[in-house]
């Protein structure tokens, strides 16, 4: 007797069965999925050809639901594979992912380049039988996206365009694997106390744990321990950042810094040629489509009108930040000299984090590491959920056993209206797992809100992924304040995804929101971390249950604008480099991307990058993520988020009724409308006017 096992990967809807999806399953089923989708697409095209020849105009129902279904099946299944590749990476999975990817890209392109569908969408737009604003916006986005994927190209040109897309997808995977492998392949064993002097206990624990995992042993054959060593420092952020911030041993700090900034820049894992190939291919594709460069393609679908508008905003911020940054650097130098360095001492890049921490302590007597015990994960979640209740009138509860999980650290939560009605859910995968999980933090969509029938609504489900410090021994995950802010940030994205009221999935949540406006909801949430009630609820010592003293909270507040000139410049440096690489660099350029970066650095840094600094080789945002010619979006959206938070400040953050009222307004506009209206319209609905940069300049202390 044989029973046919239903394929977890072809289910195409609902919560994924993460316990059943294996590399084998993927290899077997992705081709079947593509075959099925091809048939569906052919059928839809046949129907549309028939309708276009007999009817003068089409209706939404003639095209959009079927089209969405095809795209959604693909997104769902491949989304599951990509998600696993990011959070449970293994050599088998990686191999399967890269083997199947070309087929996926080919089908996506075929879908995006269907002449029949393009005609059908143009017909929908032109004959104006659609007057629903959301539908119009969805169609316009589809049309421009299709154009940018090569529709309208002649057969040969299209073939070339597609082969370039496939190569680009391949290159971005190689790029990020190189970064991951380069980070993992370097580490340094430290045996002497003098080599780890200055490191807080927690960092020592992490390093000795890494030594233990690497099979290192202490003198006398004992297992490594935090107090006796040995310790192994590496390039993953939970080890790298504390080391740069606290290690007093300057030569080792320098060694680790040099290894970090030169990741993936030589040998087998060298990304330099990959970068040039990516930029050249993007450029060629842009010109095939009639754009001047990739930057124009990027901005065609963004809130910013053109490159000049972006440059203007960046230049405003740069000129405000530069004098502050110079002053801040001078203060760091004075601080170093005051603390034992000679009068001839010069700052190097590996000194910045270290002396910044010393100066921060002097100025605010703030020791971020010492604050960790006040931010245990569960307490932070508690305060975050209460904040959401106050602002948006929702209840968030953890639920066990409902959703299959991909790792034992992952948790699943439901989001309910105050009347108990379920409106959304999310997974939380909080901890760093350097060997198998991509770095950074992100929110991704598992399921989108979708009105499927009169009484059937699919509720949104989000993935929230962080890389914060894991629990050690009997201690829970004790978060740095920065990790708290990151969690709030990703949660903000999650809220926009989950609290949407748009019933068209193409414009629900973060869908169809312009890239440069999409960080509004996330950065907005960061502003709340230090609001009186929130901080009093998230910051409670995990052992003593004491609140974080007021004086410490004040220091955190004051320190928010500490070195903000340097921090602003850093973001502008990245943003401008990204922009210029995609508008000015091409394969005929006489300078390399790195040289172009160094030219830009002259006006956007106060300490020139050292020769080994090959930051571009690990700039995954633009070479392995979706931020190409769009990194500026962080700053652009920060203008929006600061201005949105200022609405609450103006009413008074302690005024409960007003906060609730404005919170409701925020939920009903920014969170609810998502991509169904233009960002300016959505913002105006909340604020009653267009965005202003005043609040950001004030919040950054650059006024």
| Total of chain residues touching Zn ion, rule CB under 5 A | 2
Nearest approach, Cβ of residue 516 and Zn ion (Å): 12
Find the shortest distance in angstroms from Cβ 591 to Zn ion: 32
Q: Which is nearer to Zn ion, 97 or 438 (CB)?
A: 438
Paired strand residues for 303: none
Smallest distance from Zn ion to CB 518, Å: 7
Question: Which residue number, 574 or 585, has a Cβ lying nearer to Zn ion?
Answer: 574
155-185 vs 91-112: helix crossing angle, rounded to 10:
160
Specify the residue, 279 or 575, whose C-beta has the smaller distance to Zn ion.
Answer: 575
Q: Nearest-CA neighbor of 244 among 360, 351, 364?
A: 351
> Which C-beta is closer to Zn ion: that of 165 or that of 522?
522
Tokens at residue 149, please?
């994927």
Shortest CB 522 distance to Zn ion, Å = 4
From the list 145-153, 480-488, 521-529, 685-693, the region that binds Zn ion by CB under 5 A is: 521-529
User: Which residues on neighbouring strands pair with residue 414, listed in sequence order?
Assistant: 397, 425
Q: Residue of minimal CB distance from Zn ion?
A: 522
* 276-to-105, 176, 338, 574, 595 alpha-carbon distances in Å: 21, 15, 45, 17, 12
Q: Which stretch binds Zn ion (CB under 5 A): 191-199, 283-291, 517-525, 564-572?
A: 517-525
- What are the start-end ranges of the H helices in 219-376? 237-246, 250-261, 272-288, 294-300, 307-338, 349-364, 368-371
Scan for tokens 């090569």, then name that residue.
Answer: 150
C-alpha 346/C-alpha 701 separation (Å) is 27
User: Would you say 199 or 529 has its CB closer to Zn ion?
Assistant: 529
Q: 307 or 516, CB closer to Zn ion?
A: 516
- Contact (Cβ atoms closer than 8 angstroms) between residue 441 and residue 428: no
Q: How far is the CB of 65 from Zn ion (least distance, A)?
A: 31
- Kindly indicate which of the ranges 170-178, 361-369, 516-524, 587-595 contains the residues binding Zn ion, using the contact rule CB under 5 A: 516-524
CB 278 within 8 A of CB 620: no
Element (H, E) at 431: strand 422-431
Q: Does 467 bind Zn ion (CB under 5 A)?
A: no
CB 494 to Zn ion: min, Å: 10
Q: Is 496 in the site for Zn ion (CB under 5 A)?
A: no
Q: Is 490 a catalytic residue?
A: yes
* Residues across the chain: 703
Nearer to Zn ion, 555 or 635 (CB): 635
Burial class (CB in 10 A: 0-12, 13-18, 19+), 107: buried
Between 291 and 426, name the residue whose CB sits nearer to Zn ion.
426
- When the beta carbons of 485 and 594 are compared against Zn ion, the nearer one is 485
384 class by beta-carbon count within 10 Å (0-12 exposed, 13-18 middle, 19+ buried): buried
> Which one of the spans 42-50, 57-65, 124-132, 520-528 is the region binding Zn ion (CB under 5 A)?
520-528
In 3D space, the residue among 646, 651, 638 whose CA is nearest the CA of residue 689 turns out to be 646
Stretch that binds Zn ion, among 59-67, 522-530, 575-583, 662-670 (CB under 5 A): 522-530
Q: Least distance in Å: CB of 53 to Zn ion?
A: 46
Which of 523, 672 has the CB closer to Zn ion? 523
522 contributes a contact to Zn ion by CB under 5 A: yes
Residue that the structure tokens 């690990």 belong to: 618
Q: Which stretch binds Zn ion (CB under 5 A): 121-129, 242-250, 313-321, 511-519?
A: 511-519
d(CA 571, CA 600): 12
CB burial of residue 141 (10 Å; 0-12, 13-18, 19+): middle
Q: Minimal distance in Å, beta carbon 442 to Zn ion? A: 7
DSSP, residue by residue, 209-226: HHHHHTT---TTSPPPBT
Shortest distance in whole angstroms from residue 519 CB to Zn ion: 5
Shortest distance (Å) from residue 623 CB to Zn ion = 18
β-strands 187-190, 231-234 pairing: antiparallel
CB atoms within 10 A of CB 514: 21
Closest CA to 20 of 137, 29, 98, 122: 29
φ and ψ at 323, to 5 degrees?
-60, -35
To the nearest whole angstrom, how small is the minimum distance from the Cβ of residue 493 to Zn ion? 6
Nearer to Zn ion, 62 or 519 (CB): 519
Please pick, among 490, 514, 519, 552, the residue that the annotation labels catalytic: 490
| Contact region with Zn ion (CB under 5 A), list: 137-145, 193-201, 519-527, 601-609 | 519-527
CB 252 within 8 A of CB 216: no
Apex 40 CA angle, 36 and 46, nearest 5: 145
Under 8 Å between Cβ of 587 and 280: yes
CA distances 381 to 180, 327, 477, Å, are: 29, 38, 12
Residues annotated as part of the active site: 490
Rule CB under 5 A: which residues touch Zn ion? 519, 522
């Amino acid at each position: 007797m044989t029973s046919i096992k239903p394929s977890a990967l072809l289910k195409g809807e609902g919560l994924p069965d993460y316990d059943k999806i294996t590399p084998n399953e993927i290899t077997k089923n992705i081709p079947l999925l593509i075959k099925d989708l091809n048939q569906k697409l052919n059928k839809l095209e046949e129907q549309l050809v028939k309708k276009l020849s007999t009817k003068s105009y089409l209706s939404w129902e003639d095209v959009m639901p079927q089209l969405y279904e095809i795209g959604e099946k693909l997104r769902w299944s491949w989304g599951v594979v990509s998600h696993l590749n990011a959070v449970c990476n293994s050599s088998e999975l990686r191999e399967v992912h890269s083997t199947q990817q070309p087929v996926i890209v080919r089908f996506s392109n075929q879908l995006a380049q269907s002449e029949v569908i393009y005609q059908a969408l143009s017909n929908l737009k032109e004959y104006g039988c659609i007057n629903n604003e959301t539908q119009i916006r969805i169609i316009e986005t589809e049309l421009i996206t299709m154009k940018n994927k090569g529709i309208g190209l002649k057969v040969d040109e299209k073939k070339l365009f597609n082969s370039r897309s496939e190569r680009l997808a391949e290159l971005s995977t190689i790029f990020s694997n190189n970064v991951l492998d380069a980070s993992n392949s370097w580490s340094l064993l430290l045996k002497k106390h003098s080599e780890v002097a200055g490191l807080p206990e927690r960092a020592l624990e992490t390093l000795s744990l890494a030594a233990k995992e690497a099979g290192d042993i202490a003198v006398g054959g004992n297992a490594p321990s935090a107090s006796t060593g040995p310790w192994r420092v590496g390039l993953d952020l939970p080890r790298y950042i504390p080391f740069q911030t606290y290690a007093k041993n300057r030569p080792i700090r320098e060694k680790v810094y040099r290894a970090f900034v030169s990741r993936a820049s030589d040998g087998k894992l060298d990304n330099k040629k990959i970068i040039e190939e990516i930029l050249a291919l993007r450029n060629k594709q842009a010109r095939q489509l009639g754009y001047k460069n990739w930057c124009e393609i990027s901005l065609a679908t963004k809130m910013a009108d053109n490159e000049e508008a972006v440059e203007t905003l960046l230049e405003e911020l740069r000129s405000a930040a530069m004098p502050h940054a110079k002053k801040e650097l001078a203060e760091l130098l004075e601080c170093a000299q005051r603390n034992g360095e000679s009068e001839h001492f010069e700052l190097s890049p590996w000194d910045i984090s270290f002396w910044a921490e010393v100066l921060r302590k002097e100025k605010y007597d703030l020791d971020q590491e010492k604050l960790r015990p006040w931010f245990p994960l569960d307490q932070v979640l508690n305060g975050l959920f209460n904040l959401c209740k106050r602002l948006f009138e929702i209840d968030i509860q953890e639920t066990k056993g409902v959703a299959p999980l991909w790792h034992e650290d992952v948790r699943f939560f439901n989001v309910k209206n105050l009347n108990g009605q379920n409106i959304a859910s999310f997974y939380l995968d909080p901890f760093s797992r350097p060997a198998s999980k991509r770095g950074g933090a992100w929110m991704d969509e598992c399921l989108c809100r979708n009105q499927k029938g009169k009484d059937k609504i699919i509720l949104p489900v989000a993935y929230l992924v962080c890389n914060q410090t894991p629990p050690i021994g009997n201690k829970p995950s004790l978060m740095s304040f920065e990790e708290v802010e990151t969690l709030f940030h990703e949660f903000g994205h999650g809220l926009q995804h989950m609290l949407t009221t748009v019933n068209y999935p193409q414009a629900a949540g973060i869908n169809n929101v312009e890239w440069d406006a999409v960080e509004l909801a996330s950065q907005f949430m960061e502003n709340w971390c230090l609001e009186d009630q929130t901080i009093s609820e998230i910051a409670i010592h995990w052992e003593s249950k004491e609140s974080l003293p007021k004086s410490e909270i004040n220091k955190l507040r004051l320190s928010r604008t500490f070195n903000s000139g340097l921090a602003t410049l850093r973001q502008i440096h990245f943003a401008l480099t990204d922009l210029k690489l995609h508008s000015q660099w091409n394969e005929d350029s006489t300078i390399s991307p790195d040289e172009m970066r160094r030219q830009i650095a002259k006006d956007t840094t106060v300490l020139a990058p050292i020769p080994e600094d090959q930051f571009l080789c690990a700039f995954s945002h633009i070479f392995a993520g979706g931020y190409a010619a769009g990194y500026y979006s962080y700053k652009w959206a920060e203008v929006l988020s600061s201005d949105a938070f200022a609405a609450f400040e103006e009413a008074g953050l302690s005024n409960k009724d007003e906060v609730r009222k404005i919170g409701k307004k925020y939920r009903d506009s920014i969170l609810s409308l998502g991509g169904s209206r233009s960002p300016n319209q959505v913002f105006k609905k909340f604020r009653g006017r267009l965005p202003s940069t005043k609040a950001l300049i004030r919040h950054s202390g650059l006024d």
